[in-house]
Structure 1
C-alpha cells in the first residue's frame, strides 16, 4: 500500500538541511517506521528523505544536489519491488551509492538485497549505533569527492552548447581542449623546473605526461571531434558508462585515446544505436567520476537538441558557454533553446555567450546580439573559416599551423581565463578584437 511520507515528519525541512550542508539519504520504503528509525540512527549526520519504491518517483531526488546514498528497503512483502528499483537505479544512475535494508530474520529479503549488488546492508533489527556506522562509512567518502567536484574550481566541467549543427562548436571545443592541456602541461613544467625559461609554444612537444584536459565529444554530427584530432576513439562514452566503477588513471592510460598534445578524448560510439544505453544520469556520473582525474573537461554538446540530456550536464557545471553565430537561423535557434532550458529550471545567469565566426562588417554587432539573447557576452571569436579549413585539410588544428592567428589568440585567451590567469579581456571592447575590427573596416 502506498503511503505519503513528508520529509518534514522525518527530519528538518529540506531548506534547513540544505542551508546546514547536510547530505541527503534517500530511503525507498513502504514503512514510515523504518524511515523514523533510520533518521534516529543517523542523527545530525544526514537528512533522511523517504520515498516510494518506484524508480520514476525517485528520479527528482537522485538528480538533486547533496545526495549521499540511497537505501532500498527489501522487507517483505516488497522484496521483488525493491530488487526492481535497485536494478533500475543501477542502470540509470550507476554512480549512486546503493544500500539494501532488511532483517536477517527474513533471509529471502536479505539474499535478494545482496544479489542485487548493493554495497552495504542495513539491519533493521540492529542497534541505531550499528546502522548509523554502516551508513556513515558510505557518507564519509562523499565530502572528500565533493571537495573536488564542488569546491575546487581548478577542476571544472565546461559544456559548450550549440542550438543547431554547423555553429562551429566542435572546432572551438577541440582547439580549447588541446590548448588547456598544453597550457597546464607547460605551467606544470615551469612549476617543477622554474629555471627552465622555455617560451610557451604550440609546436613544442608535450612537456608533461599528466592528464590535464579531456574532450568529451558528445555533439552532432557524432565523433567529428575525433576526426579533427586524428584519433580513433575505440573506447567510447557508452563503454565508460558500462565501466564506471573502473574509471581511474590506470584505465585512462590503457584504453582512452589521446591527441599528440596529451589531451584525452571520449566520444559517442561509432554504432549510434548504443546511445540508447546512455541515460542523462549515467552521462553525468561519468563526468563526476572523471572530474578528480582531469582539471578540465570540455564537453561538446553542439547540435544536440535533446534538452533533457543537456540539463543534467549543466547541473554538474558551474558555468556553460552558449555558442552562436550572426546568422538568422543561429540566433532564432539559440533563442528557442534558451527558452527550453529555462522551462527546465536552468538559471540563465550560468550561461555565457560566445559569438563564433564574427564578422564586424556583417550581421548584428556583438553587444546587440548578446542583448537580444539576454546573455552576458563572454568571448567574440573572429571568422577564420578559410584558415581553419586549410589546417584541417592538412590533418592539423589551426593552433598547430598558425599559432599567431587571431582565432588561436582567442582560444589562448579563453584558456587562460578558464585557468584563472587571463591574458586579455576578449569581449567586444578588447584590444585584440578592436584592432581586428579596425583592420577589416580599412579593408586590410
Structure 2
C-alpha cells in the first residue's frame, strides 16, 4: 500500500508507476490498482484510461461482484493493469455500509493476484486504517519539506501504534533534490522507519509530464529515465520480500503478492 501525508508528494504518480513495474515482473497475473488517494480518479488519467466503474458502485452491486463482473467492468491499460477509483462522484459514498466495503475488498483479493492500494492522504479514514492494519508492505511517500516530514511522522506514529511488531514499511523520499541538503537517511530517521532500498525517487517533473501527456506511465514510456529506474528498483525489492518464490499462481487471493487483506469481523 502507498500512503502520503501531504498533497503534492507525488503519491499517486509513484503508486501508478510502482504498480506497473510490479505488473511487468509477472505479466500473466491479474493486477489491480485501487485509486483511493486524493484527488480521486487521477490514476486512470495518468494511465490514459477511462474508468467504467468505481469502487462505491461495485459495493452497491455486491451480489453481482464476481470475477466475470469485475473483469468486464474494470478498465485496464495496455499492460492489463486494472484501475478502480473510489468513486465517480463524492455523493456516491453516502450511505455505504462499512461491512459491505470490507466484503468488497475481500472479493477483490480473492480474484486478483496483485493489488496495489493508493491511499494517499486518506490514511486516517476508516477504510485507510483497515487497509493499513492488513497490509503486507506499506510505502510511505515523503518529500524533503518540513511539512512533508511532519505529516510523515504522524503517519509513522499511527503505523507503530496500530500495527506494532507486524509493521512492514519503508520510506520513499519523492521529488528528491540533493541541493535541498536534506538527505533520504535524515528523512527516514525523522520518521523512525527504514528506507525502501536507497529511499530516493529523484525529481523528474519534465519527463513525468511528457509521459503523462502521451497517456503513458514513465516506467513504460521512459524506462531508462532516472525516475523509472528508481521505481523499478523499489518494485524489485518489494517483489523479493513479498513473493520470494516468484510464483504468482501459488499466492493467489488472500495470500496475494504486494499486499493481503483479511476479512475483519
Q: TM-score under structure 2 normalisation?
A: 0.82
Query: 1:285 and 1:414 mapped to 2: Cα distance?
Result: 30
Select the structure with the greater relative contact order (CA < 8 A; seq sep ≥ 6): 2
Q: CA deviation at 1:280?
A: 5.0
Is the 2:20–2:219 Cα contact (8 Å) retained in structure 1? no
Contact 1:280 1:313 in 2 (8 A): no
> Which of 132, 140, 145 does residue 327 from structure 1 map onto?
145
CA shift digits 1:9-53 (9 cap, x unpaired): xxxxxxxxxxxxxxxxxxxxxxxxxxxxxxxxxxxxxxxxxxxxx
4+ runs deviating over 6 angstroms: none
Matches of 2:131 and 2:95, distance apart in 1: 17
Aligned partner of 1:413 in structure 2 is 233
Q: Larger Rg: 1 or 2?
A: 1
Structure 1 alignment gaps of length 5 or more: 1-158, 186-207, 423-444
The one of 195, 216, 221 equivalent to 1:396 is 216
Listed as ranges, the matches of 1:77-226 within 5 Å are: 159-185=1-27, 208=28, 211-226=29-44
Where structure 2 has 5 or more consecutive residues not aligned to the other structure, the ranges are 243-265
CA distance in 1, matches of 2:132, 2:60: 22
CA contact (8 A) 1:218 1:300 kept: yes
Between the aligned partners of 1:279 and 1:327, the Cα distance in structure 2 is: 38
RMSD: 2.2
User: In 2, are the aligned partners of 1:284 and 1:316 still within 8 Å (CA)?
Assistant: no
Q: 1:278 to 1:358 in 2, by over 3 A?
A: farther
For residues 418 and 244 of structure 1, what CA distance do their matches in structure 2 show? 31
1:173-210 deviation digits (Å, cap 9, x = unpaired): 1112222222211xxxxxxxxxxxxxxxxxxxxxx5xx
**What secondary structure does 2:133 align onto?**
helix
Q: Does 1:258 align with 2:76?
A: yes
Equivalenced residues, count: 239
Q: Is the counterpart of residue 337 in structure 1 residue 155 in structure 2?
A: yes
* Residue aligned with 2:139, SS: strand
Over 3 Å counting, the alpha-carbon distance change for 1:162 and 1:281 in structure 2 is farther
Deviation of 1:367 after TM superposition, in Å, equals: 0.9
